[in-house]
Structure formats: C-alpha cells, structure tokens
Chains A and B, each alone.
Chain A
Amino acid sequence: MSTYDRSMALTGQPPVMLSRNQKIATLVGMFGLAVILLAAFNINFPNKSLWLTISLVSIIGGAVWYSWDAYMHKAPGIKNDGVWFKSLSNQGFWGWIAGIALTGFYIILYFYPEYLGLVAKGDNKGVIGLFDPLSKALSGNPASQWFVYGTLYTVAILAFGIKFLWKYRHNRYERIRTFSVMFFQTAFAFIIPELMARLNGSSLLNGGSLPYYDLKNMWPLNYYNFEGYRIKGFLSSGDIGFAMLIFGIATIFIISPILTYKFGKRWYCSWVCGCGGLAETAGDPFRHLSDKTVKAWNIERWVIHSVVVFVTLMTTAVIYSYLGNDTSKYWLTKSSFLIGVAVLLTTVFAWVMLFKREQFKKDAIYGAIGYFVIIIALIGFHFYSGDGNVFLFKSGTLRKSYSFLIGSIFSGVIGTGFYPVLGNRVWCRFGCPMAAILGFQQRLFSKFRITTNGGQCISCGNCSTYCEMGIDVRAYAQKGENIVRSSCVGCGICSAVCPRGVLKLENGPLKGRIDSNQVLLGNDVDLMKLVNQK
C-alpha cells in the first residue's frame, strides 16, 4: 500500500535511528542483562550482592538514559513519530526476535526453572543464586524462580514507567495513573508479600504461616486463592489470616463491584493490576499492534468468556473437593456450597435478564449458554462426584490443566511473550477472567464511559490504532456515540492521541450513557431527528 518500505534497513528511516547517547544507553542496559545471562550459564560471580546491584542498576539506568534522550529534548506532546517504521514495533525482524526471546524466557521460567539455577535442596546456582542475597534481605529465604521473575518484573515496570512518564509528561491523567501502577507493583506485588513472609511462625500469626499473598491480586486473577493449602494457611494465622481471607472474598464480591460502578474497571486494570502495569509500561511501545477487526472482537468474546466459565468451574470443583459433608464439623458443606454458587449465579443471570435485557441483545444467548453450562456442571458435581473426584475427574486435574493452560501458557508465555507480535494486552483482552468479570460490570453497571465530543471526530484512526485492547474507538466516535465497551481498561491513550479533542474518559450519570444523540454532528435538529430514527 505505501511506499516507505523500500529500504532494507532494520531500523527504518533515518530519523528513527539511535542517537549516540541512546547507543551508549543501550550498551549499559545490555551489559546489565549480560550479567544475568552469564549467571544463567553458571558463571559464579564472586560477590553476588555487588554484581546483582550492578546488573539491576545498569538495566534501569540504561533504560532511563535511553528514554531521557528520546523524549526530553522534544516539546511535550504525542510522540508516535516513526512507530510503524521501526522493525521492533511494526512486527518486523526485531519484533519477532524480541517475541521469541521473551517467549523462550517464559517457557524456561515456568517449566524448566532448574536451567535458571533452582536447586531444591542446597544453595541455588545460576541466576537464581545471583538473586539470593536480595531475597534473603527481604524475606529471609533464598530466592526462587518467582523471586527472580518478580524482581525483574518490578524493575521493568519502574524503568519503563519512567519512560512512559516522560513520553506523556504533558498528560496528568497518564502520569498519575503510571505512578499508581509503579507504586502498586513495587509495594503490593513485590515488597509487602516478601516482608509478610518474615511474620510466618511468629506469635502475631499464632505461629501459623500465611500463603504468599499479593493483596491487590483478586480471584479469579489469582485463581488459586481459595485452594485448600491457602485456606489452611489463612486459618492457621490467627485474626490477621482470617482478615486476609475475608478481604480476599470481599475484593471480588464487594469492593470491586463498588469501585467498578464508580470509576469503571480502569481503577483496577490500568491503575492497580500488575499485568496491566507491565502492559502499560514495558508494553507501551507495542500497544498499536492489537488487532482491531470485527473478527478479532468475536474471537475475543468467545475466548475470554470461556476462560471465565473454566475458572468458575475449576474453583468450585477445588473448593468442593476439600469441603466435608457433615454440618456439625463445619458450617459449609459440599452441598450447601454448590447450592450457594448456583443461587449466586442465578441471581446475577436473572437480574441481568430482567433489568439489562435492552443493552444485552444477542449477547444474551451467549450469556445464557455460559450460565447453563455452569449450572449443569454443578448438578453434575453433585450427582457424579465421589471422594476426591469432582464430576468425572479429579479436581486436581482440572486445577492443573487450568494452571498450565491459562495460568502459565496464556497469561505468561503468550500474554507477555507475544507483546511485540500481538500487542501488549493479549492476556488482558483474550484471557483474563478478572477483566471479563469487571468488564461485564463496566458494560452494564457503571458510570464510566468515554464521551465523544459532539461532531468533532475526523475519523483519522489514531484512537483505534493506539487502543491496546483492540477496540475500534473510531467506529463509535465518528457516529457521535459514546464508547461503552466491556474490554476498555481506561488507559486514556485514545483521548491523548486524538488530534481534535474528541474523547474524554469520565464518570457520569447512567442515563444516556450509551446511546447518546447525534444532534451535534452539526446539522440542525430536525434533520438529525430523522437520521436518529432507526
């Protein structure tokens, strides 16, 4: 279609080549990565604390220096020049290389941690060994592959968060939001759980030990939260443990619906969530790669809602499997639990069908299918389950396949590994059951919308192109319609890149939220009344 692709240069056109500062910055950052890579090949660094510090400081320093040079000499404003000319960000050669490298890293991380130096009994070696001093300083325990991952994850969010802050320094919404994800990652996902581990066995917890718990991470994103060993951990840890268990239940059933009603699901997905945090910072250079076609949208809805059904069944099965039958031992039994789940789902389903039918249209059928699959499965649980078995297979099998397929492959290997190929929100868009549930609330029961500013849209396509969730924002904006989509994470970039000030994320009244009138497209009211007649 276009003519700019004549050169074979991997970096695209001249203005997107690296400056001298950026070359040095890249060298510094790569040096930091090289230290980790060498450790992976079992080079035993003499002073691990020192080398780990050098490595992490180089990575952050290199990334920050690079971004400083990229943005700080330019006037504040949108910085998308040459995005589609760079092979790293246009699904070109370097994009694929980056995708393959990330995917490979995730496969090793999830399935072959011993290659990273994990030693079950005895001192860790390799990369994990390199991170031991830091882990011991925080939690008192040696590092695991998850500690290494958590550290690198936090480093990525901080370093690229700073980049993002400079890139959007003219935009206060983006800046405050980015400070928020940087804070929640560093404090809640990284430091607090490590420090909490120090409490284990202390009198504060009545000698019990808490499971590793990132407090901002709620079910079903942490699908494992209500598994037997965790419940035992919570219940063994006195009032604090009990409070955390209650908090875990409250986050999904009380806190998140209220916040989503007031602010839309953005309060979580682009302000708090760790997956969202990485996507918005390290993933930002790839946001335009998400597929905007109607076909992709159809696939998205099937896949993500199937995951919701899967996780609901899996969690129910897991809890069911460790509950007893005797009410005198514990108030919650297998049967009463199943009935509870069925009642809850029926209430939600009936409420939607009664009050929100209008907004649901043909999606109602899909909703009904999902609902009935779950209900029939619940009945199946009841009649066909034996000891340790749920339905026809072991609950453990169900849990393991979820953990493998969704928890590892989808959210990690594909979700992050494919950033440079499919965009930075693949997991959030196609896979995350949490996003689906919050999205459902956002679509039907929230004050949040993206308001279209009357008739000012020029159909340029910046909003759609830079929507990481693959929403065709323009399709609504050019008709003068507000954008109310369940998948919108409220990152605010569509509004930022709009050259005509057409889009505004806001929380407003429920009335007229979706079907705004088209009077403002510019013609007089009589004509627009005719046009609005459907």
Chain B
Amino acid sequence: MENIVIIGNGIAGVTAARHIRKLSDKRIIIISAETDYFFSRTALMYVYMGHMKFEHIQPYENWFWEKNGIELVRGYVTQVDTPNKQVLVDGSRAFHYDKLIIATGSKPNKFGWPGQDLHGVQGLYSKQDLDLLEINAPNKEACKRAVIVGGGLIGIELAEMLRSRDIPVTFLVRETSFWNGVLPEGESQLINEHIREHHIDLQLATNLVEIIPDENGKVKAVTTDKGDTIACDMVGLTAGVTPNIDFLKASGIELGRGVKVNRYLETNVADVYAIGDCAEQHEAIGNRRPIEAVWYTGRMMGETVAQTICGNRIEYRPGHWFNSAKFLDIEYQTYGWVFGERGKKEFEQHFHWRDDKENLCVTIAFHKETKLFLGINTFGIRMRHEIFDRWLTEQRDVEYVMEHLADANFDPEFYADYEHKIVSKFNSDFGKSIKSKKKSIKRIFQIS
C-alpha cells in the first residue's frame, strides 16, 4: 500500500486527502505544525470577534479523520530527503513516503522594516497569530491603539477584528486608495468611505518607516513617511503573504518564490507535488497569477492532485475566475476578470454603477469593440455564481448581461432590486435602450 504524506492541513492538503480517500485506500498521513485538526483559516477573525469558538471553525468533527483513515501527525517538517523518500519531523521522527504533497501555505510578508520583530508586532495568518493577538490586543485597556500596515484583505479584516473590541485603529495603506491595485477606482472609493464610517483612521499613501520599542523591547510607536509618530501597543503587518517553503531549501526541489510546479502540479522531483498557496506555476494560467493564495484555488488544486495521485494524471485547469470577500459590512463578489487601473487591459472597458444612498456598487468589464462580457465586481449585492459562470462560458455580450441581470441576483427574498437603476445608468452612459427582463426561474434553472 502506498504512503501518501501531505505536509500541511489547510484547505489544499485536506481536500487532497479527502479526495484521495474517496478514490483509493492508500495510507494517508497529514503532518501539521499548526493545529491538531483542519480549520478554516478565513474564519480565524470570527473567533477573536466572539462570533464563534475555535471548535466552530473546524469543518469536520474530530472523529472524522480516524473514521476515514486519515492519520494526523502534529509536528514541524524540518527536512525533506527526496533521494530516500522520507520527511523528517522535528528533526527526529522520519516518515517514508511514496508520494509527497507539499501544501504548506504562506507566511506574512516582512519587508525589513526596523523593529519588525519587536514584541507586539505580528501578522495575521496562523492559529498562533490569533493566540498572539489575544496577548497583544486583548482589549482597549491593554492595547490603546493598534497600527495596521498594508491595505489588503487581511489588513481590513484585522481592523474589523480590533474594532469589535473598541480598540482604536490606524490603518496605513501604501496605495492612494484602498486595494486599488485590484479594485477599480469607484469601488476602492466606496471601501475607503466605509472604512472611515467604522471609525478606522485610514491613512492612504502612507508608508511605515520604523517601529519604535520601549525599554522592554515592546512596540511603543511607529513613524510614517508623512513624518508622523503614532503611539501604539500593537502593530499588525498585513502587507501580503509569501509561500512558506524555507524548510525545502536543501531538498533539491526547485523553488522560486514558491515551489515550482508544472500544470500537473508536479515538482521537478518525481513523486513530489505542491498545491495551494505555496505552489508556483512556471507560467501563469490565463489572467491568473503564478502563485494564487486563495481558498478556492487551494481547494481546486487539492481535487486535481488527488486525481493524479490515484492514477488519473490530469492538468490543473481552473474554470472561470471567481472570488469573494467581506469588507466590514460590505460583501464583495467577483466573477470573470475586472481589473483596477494598474492591471487594466487596453481593450477593457468598464461600466460602473453606485447607489446614491446605500453601500452598493457594481462594475462590469467588457471588450471595447466586441462588447464581450469579461467580468463583474459586485459590492453589497449578491450574485449567482452559476449564472455568471454560464454567461462567461457562453461568451455573452454586455448587453445580454444587462438585459438578464435580474436572473443573476442572489440576494435574500424580499430584498429591493436594483436592476432597473443599474440598467438605466448603463443606457444613459452608453446611449442604449436596454430593457431589463424580469427574473425567470425557467432561465435560471434551465428548465424548458
């Protein structure tokens, strides 16, 4: 019986394990230094906020693993010995593998800021980071102000977390507007305003210069390139993540920023695979980045590699791009590709609508000439994944999308609908006279 060893018990590794188990009776061993059981990393914030206890963010009950014959090992892999096909845990225990899957995820970026390793300075990625946050910022008395450095998804989550305990937050964002490397201008603007509605001191176009310690080596203040000194008890470093692969340096496995893999998720060493945040494609797939640190892609790679390992060698071929997030109270979903100013293609044209009262907006990207629908960003309005996936596959044009927008709405029942407002803005922007069709159950569920 083959030994499948998986390093990392995140969504990628666990999905791989589950699917290998569905397809075979191979021996499966998952090694993790972080926690005993798989948990949803994206839900760590809710534990700090008191929405859930840590046990609630574990998607499977503890008996699940033994019942399904998935062995869990708690320990840190210190060495991967590819010639002898074994991994060494904590420098002592050795595990033989026939197939090895590396799914070790990421670690927070640190860009060499002075003081970045002081007490009270931390990232937010792991369970250990969550525990550390309970020490660094348990309440507003112990943490009179927190400074967050880096305006991405984790930064805004951390800000929301700290605000849930009434801790004053200063949010330093390098860009001129929040996450505008990804989001188009209007959307980024909406989020800027929403961040400030939540009494977060958002400082745009501002960089961290130095983190200043007190006499005990604990953070006391930070200085910015605007010349300000901000007193604080905690600094959150949330300027993106990097693959967590330092332990592989001597293994002979080809590394770039991540573990280099081909489209089959194979590394340069036979029987060694890498999936999830830590895998780096030799060449980016479509508009995707070579390293995709996203929950959904980790899951897809896990499913794919399970097929390969169980004898059905198959390429990683992700379908249409989608993603989602929540910025404080505003939900965000995206289907297809909508780029911010930086990444925008020359043929890409945008239609933007924002509600005049509520925190809602939609941006639709389409091809300038052919009017082909390229993608949608939606804020505060839920959209149906299946519908956009279908429209992207069917290569619908933007006018078709406008006409049938009601079919895509996924808001709860009785919610106000905004299709008329959106379509009339589109008509006035582009001199069209599209009439939006009523929502049709028949079209949505494709019943004739």
Which residues in A have some Cβ–Cβ distance to B below 8 Å?
1-4, 6, 12-16, 75-78, 80-85, 170-173, 176, 293-294, 451, 453-456, 458-462, 464-465, 474-475, 478, 492, 495-497, 499-501, 504-506, 508-509, 511-512, 519-527, 530-531
Asked if A512 meets B49 with Cβ closer than 8 Å, knowing A453-B385, A501-B382, the reply is: no
Question: Chain A: which residue is nearest B393 at the CB level?
Answer: A525
- Report yes or no: B52 in contact with A527, Cβ–Cβ below 8 A: no
Contact pick for A499, options B47, B134, B322, B331, CB 8 Å: B331
Asked if A505 meets B300 with Cβ closer than 8 Å, knowing A1-B53, A14-B165, the reply is: no
**A-B pairs under 8 A by CB, number:** 199
- Report yes or no: A523 in contact with B56, Cβ–Cβ below 8 A: no
17 A-B pairs whose Cβ atoms sit less than 8 Å apart in the complex: A3-B135, A4-B138, A14-B166, A85-B50, A173-B414, A453-B386, A456-B296, A459-B40, A459-B42, A461-B43, A462-B46, A465-B51, A474-B59, A500-B333, A505-B413, A520-B386, A523-B318
Within 8 A of A (CB), among B117-157: 131, 134-135, 138-141
A495 CA / B382 CA spacing, docked (Å): 11
Query: Which residues of chain B are near A458, meaning CB under 8 Å?
Result: 40, 42-43, 295, 324
Query: Which residues of chain B are near A4, meaning CB under 8 Å?
Result: 48, 50, 134, 138
- Report yes or no: A460 in contact with B43, Cβ–Cβ below 8 A: yes
Which residues in B have some Cβ–Cβ distance to A below 8 Å?
11, 19, 40, 42-43, 46-59, 61, 131, 134-135, 138-141, 164-166, 197-198, 295-297, 299-300, 303-304, 307, 312, 314, 317-319, 322, 324-326, 328-329, 331, 333, 382-386, 389, 410-416, 441, 444-445, 447
Query: Which residues of chain B are near A499, meaning CB under 8 Å?
Result: 326, 331
A455 CA / B325 CA spacing, docked (Å): 13
**B288: shortest Cβ distance to chain A, in Å?**
12
- Report yes or no: A520 in contact with B385, Cβ–Cβ below 8 A: yes
A2 CA / B50 CA spacing, docked (Å): 11
A387 CA / B59 CA spacing, docked (Å): 58
- Report yes or no: A500 in contact with B445, Cβ–Cβ below 8 A: no
A294 CA / B325 CA spacing, docked (Å): 30
Question: Chain A: which residue is nearest B330 at the CB level?
Answer: A77
- Report yes or no: A81 in contact with B49, Cβ–Cβ below 8 A: yes
**B26: shortest Cβ distance to chain A, in Å?**
17
Contact pick for A523, options B59, B317, B326, CB 8 Å: B317
- Report yes or no: A522 in contact with B386, Cβ–Cβ below 8 A: no
- Report yes or no: B322 in contact with A16, Cβ–Cβ below 8 A: no
Asked if A14 meets B385 with Cβ closer than 8 Å, knowing A173-B412, A465-B52, A505-B412, the reply is: no
Asked if A500 meets B331 with Cβ closer than 8 Å, knowing A4-B138, A460-B43, A522-B322, the reply is: yes
Asked if A176 meets B414 with Cβ closer than 8 Å, knowing A456-B322, A499-B331, A524-B317, the reply is: yes
Contacts beyond the supplied A81-B164, A522-B299: 18 A-B pairs with Cβ under 8 Å: A172-B414, A173-B412, A173-B414, A173-B415, A454-B386, A458-B324, A459-B40, A462-B51, A492-B412, A495-B412, A500-B325, A504-B410, A504-B411, A504-B413, A505-B413, A523-B318, A524-B318, A525-B319
Q: Nearest 4 pairs between A and B by C-beta?
A: A454-B385, A77-B329, A501-B382, A460-B43
Contact pick for A453, options B46, B58, B382, CB 8 Å: B382
